[in-house]
Amino acid sequence: MNKILSSVEFVVKNAKHVRINNNALLKFASNFKGRKNNHWLSEAPLDFSNFNDEEILNFLLVYSATGFCYWGNPKWHIDYEGVKHEGSFAMIAAIMKAHKNGVKILNPEYRSKMDKEEYSKVLEISKSNKILLFDERLKFLNESGKVIIDKYQGKVSNLFKFAKGDVIKLIEILIKNFSAYDDSYKYKGKDVYFYKKAQLFISDVFQTFQNKGIGKLINSEELTALADYRIPQTFKNLGILEYSEYLENKIANGELIQGGSEEEIEIRASMILAVQLIHDIVKEREGKILPIEINDQMWLLRRLRFPNDEVHHKTITTSY
């Protein structure tokens, strides 16, 4: 069995702060149309029409490595083509804007040596526009160039060639070679694996290239949901996830949930398993569909907002 799924199942079975409401999940899944197949990037400020394949791969690598922890107050933002973007779309806009302005951020050699001043300009950092974990992002940005140069002859495409297009091998390669993708923890003495950003990169390549060319992958069904803070928020709004009074109060009061704590691991694990359960129901009814496609629709659903919107949990982490 997929080691991510088996590890999160252990967490869910032993959780004390989070539970999956099966009735709410079944009700939602019974009305859920899985055939939309909307990639989450379909609504992003993104245009790859003038990019070559290697530029697209570099873009997705940079984004996945540096994309995390956007919930500062006030929120970091990027103005791009007349629109103010926040969160993950702001990071996409920042990379797009830098590339359009001639910054060679998609060149592994260049970004491996980018310094704080250069990167601050890319992210448009100022006294009124700060981002959490800036130093960690710069480290991962530099690493995303250096590893590609040192180990993959300067081409991101070689990652996929070395893995022979196998999702399982790709995850192993990313985890082994890039510290940006380290995302595993201990829970009650057991190892728990999430690998959110590594799977995001692979999924984005798979869907952007529509399972063709360099994006033609095997074992794509092994990609699980991507454990973040937005999809748990969606599931909380839908009544699919329920929290203990202790955890509910902490989140409502805006208190930090420690990364790697029991509460945080239980939130992320329950989210992954909930997506998998919805996937299994929809697949039985509609035929072939991937867990990652359910994940993307859940993420896009969050952007619609809810009348009585639940507050998302806040964790300072480089994992999501």
Tens digits of residue pLDDT in 136-164 = 999 999 999 999 999 999 999 999 999 99
37 pLDDT band (50/70/90 cuts)?
low
Q: Assess contact for 41 and 67: CB atoms under 8 A.
A: no
What secondary structure letter does DSSP report for 213? Answer: G
Q: Assess contact for 64 and 204: CB atoms under 8 A.
A: yes
Q: Assess contact for 199 and 192: CB atoms under 8 A.
A: no
Residue 34's pLDDT is 73
Mean pLDDT of the region 174-200 = 98
What does the alpha-carbon distance between residue 93 and residue 78 come to, in Å, rounded to a whole number?
Answer: 7
Strand stretches in 157-267, DSSP E: 184-187, 190-193, 241-243
What six digits make up the tokens of 114? 């980018």
* pLDDT of residue 307 exceeding 90: no
* pLDDT of residue 293 exceeding 80: yes
1 pLDDT band (50/70/90 cuts)?
low
Between these two residues, 301 and 313, which has the higher pLDDT value? 313
Mean pLDDT of the region 72-77 = 94
Residue 288's pLDDT is 87
Tens digits of residue pLDDT in 39-51 = 999 999 999 999 9
Q: Where are the domains of the chain?
A: 3-302
What does the alpha-carbon distance between residue 105 and residue 91 come to, in Å, rounded to a whole number?
Answer: 13
Least-confidence region, from 57-71, 193-207, 291-305: 291-305
Tens digits of residue pLDDT in 272-291 = 999 999 999 999 998 889 99
Residue 305's pLDDT is 72
Q: Assess contact for 213 and 53: CB atoms under 8 A.
A: yes
Tens digits of residue pLDDT in 104-137 = 999 999 999 999 999 999 999 999 999 999 999 9
3-state secondary structure of 18: strand
Residue 61's pLDDT is 98
Q: Which residue type sits at 121? A: K
Question: Residues near 248 by Cβ (< 8 Å), separated by ≥ 6?
Answer: none
**Ordered DSSP codes for 151-202:** HSTT-THHHHHHTTTBHHHHHHHHHHH-GGG--EEEETTEEEE--HHHHHHH
* pLDDT of residue 183 exceeding 90: yes
| Average pLDDT in the chain | 96
In percent, the amount of the chain with pLDDT more than 70 equals 99
pTM confidence score: 0.96
Q: Which residue type sits at 25? A: L
Tens digits of residue pLDDT in 8-29 = 999 999 999 999 999 999 999 9
Residue 141's pLDDT is 98
What does the alpha-carbon distance between residue 226 and residue 183 come to, in Å, rounded to a whole number?
Answer: 11
In percent, the amount of the chain with pLDDT more than 90 equals 92
Tens digits of residue pLDDT in 75-113 = 999 999 999 999 999 999 999 999 999 999 999 999 999
